[in-house]
Amino acid sequence: MANRYDDLERKVGIAEYASPHDGFAAVVKARYSDFIVHEVDLNGNIARLDKLETSAPAEAVSTPMQVENTEESNAGDANENSRKRKLSESAADVPSAESKKESDDNAANKTEVVVDWDSFTESLCKLVGDDTGKEVIAFLQQDEPAEQFYTLPQISDKQVRRSIHQLIKSAEFNSVVRADNHEGRLRVWHKAFFDKMPRDTFVSGSNNPAKRSNKQNKQKKSEWPRDRPNFLQFVLYKENIDTSTAAKDVTRFARLNPKRGISYAGMKDKRGVTTQFCSAFRVEKEQLLAINKRDGVGGGNSSTKGSCIIRVGNLTYSNEEVKLGALAGNRFDIVLRNIDTGDDNHDTIRRKLEVAGEGFKQSGFINYFGMQRFGKSVDTHEVGLQILKGDFEGAVDIIMREKADGDGPRVLEARQTWAKRFHGVNVKEDEAKASEVEAKYARQVEKMCSRFMMCERSIVSSLSRKPRDYKRAFTSISKNMRSMFLHAYQSFLWNKVASFRIKTGGSTEVREGDLVLLEDKS
């Protein structure tokens, strides 16, 4: 197993050591609470969740507007269930997800709109047919689809059209799906594009959610207090969930604009207890604090809901957005278990650990970018390289290909199906046939993609409509994910250069030709 991980590390440039002493083996993250991370911003501020609220008190508005303003309160922290043990100074009030499992009934907040997709799918399929109905549902469940709407086939039966309208206009779904008429055909709009629906084609009716939402959006834009900064900065605390999934959960639970979501400086490991700085554009504090009213869990990327926690706090308005890369580093508290030095003698083990500790003090460590930067399949940097080359087809192929570390049966089937789409087709000589086949397979694979295959789903959704347009397909992936591919390649280059320096110089000391910062202005 150790050799396997050595090979993976060398693949991304992690190949050298800062000290020559004998090392030792140990288990890291045996429990996710063994790995605690605090982000440090560019000003040296450490992300700590020391203010956990469930509501924000109102304040007087200094500039007359049609809204109420809110501010941070220094008193009245919300009472949370105490943890069985203190994991970190930043999270004393947050109950550990390891110590309890919430039931599915408690996993969702009572105020959240819960969509019964199974029931909705069944009702829709009865009206438009199984194939069309499932395609519509797959389209609606995407986070950032390439298309704004799904156009239904021509429906001549007036009663069927009316039934579709009634289903889509139902109160349970009006924040998820809407429809309009265009040239006699119904279009089902994705929630991310409600504000782009033409006003003159809305579904008629005094209770039309599309009209109501458009009016509310205009009011919201015009009513933002003039003296309030645009960005709500906050600390995101999470347990056992990765940053991108947590960000999507916050966006969904707080009902933020899915096109903007929240921004953050860097990714934090899933398997850990982490705090980091984030920001959201023009969001009320009360809206974001709804996250803390949930029953101790986030949505997560686990089949056992309740195995992760998301909390927000330390809310303050700022003119600055938290942008990717805007951090000085991270502070780590790490527990090592099952230490193996190759010797059973306790005195010998202690001496080896002391030597290792002293070497760490004297020589420090090589500041490699860790394996999490390169993804589970260790190929994100390869995607980044193809992007820099302008080879978007190559980038898409890497994302969609079968992974060396193995996938689950459902994911594996989807990847294998996609890989054989051009079998028997001369792509270079028959472009029309290649486009036809790719569109067909894209629709098929889109139905096979699990909800965790966010990049893959976006790609095949785009290719089902515009086959062979790989640049368009790649840009259908969320902006944050596209940036992470490029950052992964930057990290790969850093690791390779750092390893080369240690290998050729044998030391972490300053050497002739180095640029040295004489004055630390930080």
DSSP run (H or E) holding 276: strand 273-281
Q: Which residue has the tokens 């050799």?
A: 3
Average pLDDT over residues 263-285: 94
pLDDT at 462 over 80: yes
Q: Where is pLDDT greater, at 83 or 165?
A: 165
Which pLDDT value is given to residue 73?
A: 34
Q: Where are the domains of the chain?
A: 2-30+337-364, 33-112+226-330, 117-221, 374-481
Tokens of 302: 């686990």
Distance from C-alpha of 280 to C-alpha of 318, rounded to nearest angstrom: 10
Q: For residue 119, report the phi and psi dihedrals to the nearest 5 degrees.
A: -65, -40
Amino acid at 472: R
Partners of 181 in beta bridges: 186
pLDDT band at 3 (very low <50, low <70, confident <90, very high): low
What's the rounded Cα separation, in Å, for the pair 11 and 140? Answer: 38
Predicted pLDDT of residue 493 = 97
Give the tens place of pLDDT for each residue, 31-49.
999 999 999 999 999 999 9
What is the C-alpha to C-alpha distance for residues 109 and 292, in angstroms, rounded to an integer?
Answer: 10
139 vs 202: CA distance, rounded Å: 20
Q: Tokens 């780590």 map to which residue?
A: 332
Lowest-confidence region among 46-60, 296-310, 446-460:
296-310
Range scoring the smallest mean pLDDT among 36-40, 113-117, 245-249: 113-117
pLDDT band at 494 (very low <50, low <70, confident <90, very high): very high
CA pair distance 312, 277, nearest whole angstrom: 10
pLDDT above 60: residue 9? yes
Q: What was the pLDDT predicted at 302?
A: 43
More confident residue, 151 or 211: 151
> Following DSSP, what letter does each residue of 158-185 receive, concatenated?
HHHHHHHHHHHHSTTTTTTEEEEEETTE
pLDDT at 191: 76
Mean pLDDT of 233-247: 94
33-112+226-330 has which fold? Answer: Alpha-Beta Plaits (3.30.70)
- Give the number of other CB atoms < 10 A from CB of residue 295: 14
CB proximity list for 295: less than 8 A, separation 6 or greater: 102, 106, 107, 109
Rounded distance between C-alpha atoms, residue 187 and residue 513, angstroms: 64
Q: How far apart are CA 180 and CA 148, in angstroms?
A: 12
pLDDT value at 479 more than 90: no
Average pLDDT over residues 383-408: 91
Question: What SS3 class is residue 492?
Answer: helix
pLDDT(290) > 80? yes
Please, which residues have CB within 8 angstroms of residue 400's CB and are 6 or more apart in sequence? 415, 418, 419, 456, 459, 460
Average pLDDT for 67-82 = 36
Under 8 Å CB-to-CB from 47, ≥6 apart: which residues?
38, 39, 40, 41, 90, 235, 275, 276, 277
Q: Is 241 within 8 Å of 310 (Cβ atoms)?
A: yes
> How confident is the model over 278-282, as a mean pLDDT?
95
In the structure, what pLDDT confidence band is assigned to residue 222 with cuts at 50, 70 and 90? Answer: low
Percent above pLDDT 70 for the chain: 75
Find how far residue 267's CA is from the centre of its chain: 9
493 by DSSP, 3-state: which?
A: helix
Give the other-Cβ count within 10 Å of 89's Cβ: 14
Q: 456 and 449 in contact (C-beta within 8 Å)?
A: yes
Q: Which one is predicted more confidently, 179 or 4?
A: 179
Percentage of residues in the chain having pLDDT higher than 90: 39
Q: For 416-430, how does the pLDDT look when each residue is reduced to its tens digit (9 = 90+)?
A: 999 999 999 999 899
At residue 183, does pLDDT exceed 70?
Answer: no
Q: Which residue has the higher pLDDT, 288 or 306?
A: 288
pLDDT (tens digit per residue) in 426-445 = 998 999 999 999 999 999 99
pLDDT over 90 (residue 186): no
β-pairing, 336-340 vs 25-28, is antiparallel
Give the up-direction half-sphere exposure of residue 3: CA atoms within 13 A in the CB hemisphere.
0
Could you read off the pLDDT of 90-114 as tens digits, one per residue?
Answer: 444 455 554 444 444 444 343 344 5
How many whole angstroms separate alpha carbon 169 and alpha carbon 186? 13
pTM, two decimals, is 0.55
> In the 3-class helix/strand/coil scheme, how is 364-385 assigned residue by residue?
CCCCCCCHHHHCCCCCHHHHHH
DSSP 96: P
Q: Which CATH number fits domain 374-481: 1.10.3720, 3.10.620, 1.10.1510, 3.40.190?
A: 1.10.1510
pLDDT band at 489 (very low <50, low <70, confident <90, very high): very high
Tens digit of each residue's pLDDT (9 = 90 or more) over 292-312 = 987 655 544 444 444 789 999
pLDDT digits over 314-327, tens only?
999 999 999 988 99
The model's confidence at residue 261, banded by pLDDT at 50, 70 and 90, is confident
Q: How many CB atoms lie within 10 A of CB 387?
A: 17
Q: What mean pLDDT is predicted for residues 151-164?
A: 83
- C-beta atoms surrounding 493 within 10 Å: 14
Number of other CB atoms surrounding residue 292 within 10 Å: 21
Name the residue with higher pLDDT: 338 or 166: 338
Residue-level pLDDT at 313:
94
Distance CA 38, CA 332 (A): 7
DSSP helix/strand/coil, 440: helix
Single-letter amino acid, residue 153: P
Pairwise CA distance, residues 178 & 168, whole Å: 6
What per-residue confidence (pLDDT) applies to 295?
64
Q: State the average pLDDT for the chain.
A: 79
pLDDT score, position 301: 43
Match 């059209």 to its residue by tokens: 161
- C-alpha–C-alpha distance, residues 233 and 320, integer Å: 8
DSSP for 97-164, written as a single string: SSS----HHHHS-TTS----HHHHHHHHHHHH-HHHHHHHHHHHT-SS-SSSEEEPPP---HHHHHHH
For the segment 240-260, the average pLDDT, to the nearest whole number, is: 88
| Confidence band, pLDDT 50/70/90 cuts, at residue 64 | very low
CA angle 270, 273, 274 (to 5 degrees): 85
